Amino acid sequence: MVKVSFVIPCYNDFHFIENAVNSALNQTYSNKEIIVVDDGSDEKTKKVLKSIEPKLDRLIIQDNQGQGSARNNGIKAALGEWIIVLDSDDYFESTFAEKSIEAVSQINEAKIVTCWGNRISETDEIIDLFKPSGGELCSFLQSNGSFGSCMFRKSDWEKVSGYDESMKQGFEDWEFYIRLLSSGGFAYVIPEVLFNYRIRKNSTTVRANKIKYNLRRLIFNKHQNLYHEHHLAHADYLLNMIEREEFEKLKNLERLEYRIGYALLRPLRWLKRKL
C-alpha cells in the first residue's frame, strides 16, 4: 500500500479543525499520515491544536504566510507518495482515500482525484450538492474543475514547484491545477459524495469571488501561452457564457413581477423627465 499524506493548513479555525483531523484519522485507508500546518493562528486555535497534537504525525507552526505557503510547507514535510490536501473547516467521508487510491491504480492518467461534495453551512446543514467537472487542461483553462481539497502525486507537485504563494487572495488551487495538467493527464471525479465543503460568510473563497475577474485576469496573463494554444475552445466557452447571461436577462424581463414593476414605475419616470 502506497503512503498517503493528509496535509491540513489551519488559520484561526478552532471551531472546525478537530473535525477535519478526525475525518483524516477515520479513513479506511490505513497507510497514512496527518500533517497540520498552523499558519499563524490565534490563541484559541493554538490551544485546540495543542490538545489534538498527539493525534497528528506532525504539527508545523509558521507565521501567517497564506494558504499556498502552508500547503507547500506541509507537502515538503510529507513522506507519502500521494498528497491529500484538506482545508481545516471541511471534512472527507471515511472512504475518500481508499477510493482515490483505487481510482489511480486503475487510471494511470489521473493526476488529480476529486469527488462529489455536499456544500454545508457553518452548523453542518446541507445546502446543496456540488459535482466538480474534472477533465483535462482545456477544461481547467475555462473554470476550476476540482475542489481545493483533493489528491495528487507529490512528484507532480514538485515538478511544477507547488502552489503559487503570491496568490494570497484566492484561486491559487485553480492556478496550481492548470500547471499540474499542462503536461498532460486529467482530473478524475469519483461519482460519490465523499466530501463536505463548508460555506462561510467571510471565507477566502467568498472574498476571492468578490474580485474574481481580477484573479481570472491574473491567471490568463500568467498562462497566456496555454490560452493561445487553446484559444478556440476558450472563445467558445466565453461566448456560451455571454449567451447564457443574455438568456437569463431576457427570461427575467418576461417575468410577471418585472412587467408589473415596470408599469407601476413608468409614470414616475415620465414625471422625472418633465421635471
Determine the pLDDT at residue 235.
82
Q: Domain ranges in the chain?
A: 4-229, 234-274
33: confidence class by pLDDT, cuts 50, 70, 90:
very high
Angle among Cα 33, 37, 42 to the nearest 5 degrees reads 140
Q: Please say if the pLDDT value at position 96 is more than 80.
A: yes
| Pairwise pLDDT comparison (146 vs 266), residue with the higher score | 146
Q: In percent, how much of the chain has pLDDT > 90? A: 77
Q: What is the mean pLDDT of residues 115-128?
A: 95
Mean pLDDT of 190-202: 93
What is the average per-residue pLDDT within 25-43?
97
Measured CA to CA, the distance from residue 275 to residue 272 in angstroms comes to 5
| Vertex 86: Cα angle to 85 and 87 (nearest 5) | 125
Give the Cα separation of 190 and 169 in Å (integer).
29
Cβ count within 10 A of residue 204: 18
CATH of segment(s) 4-229? 3.90.550.10
How far is the C-alpha of 150 from the C-alpha of 138, rounded, in Å? 19
Model confidence at 163, pLDDT cuts 50, 70, 90, reads very high
Q: What is the pLDDT of residues 214-258, one digit of tens each?
A: 999 999 999 999 999 988 887 887 788 788 778 777 766 667 665
CA 40 – CA 62 distance, rounded (Å): 6
Give the ranges where 65-187 is alpha helix by DSSP (H): 67-77, 96-106, 137-142, 154-159, 172-181
Q: 206: part of which helix (H) or strand (E)?
A: helix 204-210
Report pLDDT for 109.
Answer: 96
| pLDDT given for residue 212 in this prediction | 87
CA dihedral 212, 218, 223, 229 (to 10 degrees): 60
Q: Which percentage of the chain shows pLDDT scores above 70?
A: 92
Q: What is the pLDDT of residues 15-30, one digit of tens each?
A: 999 999 999 999 999 9
Question: Across all residues in the chain, what is the average pLDDT?
Answer: 92
Q: Over 60: is that where the pLDDT of 191 sits? A: yes
Residue 148: which of 108, 95, 208, 107 has the closest Cα? 208
The per-residue pLDDT for 234 is 76
3-class DSSP state of 119: strand
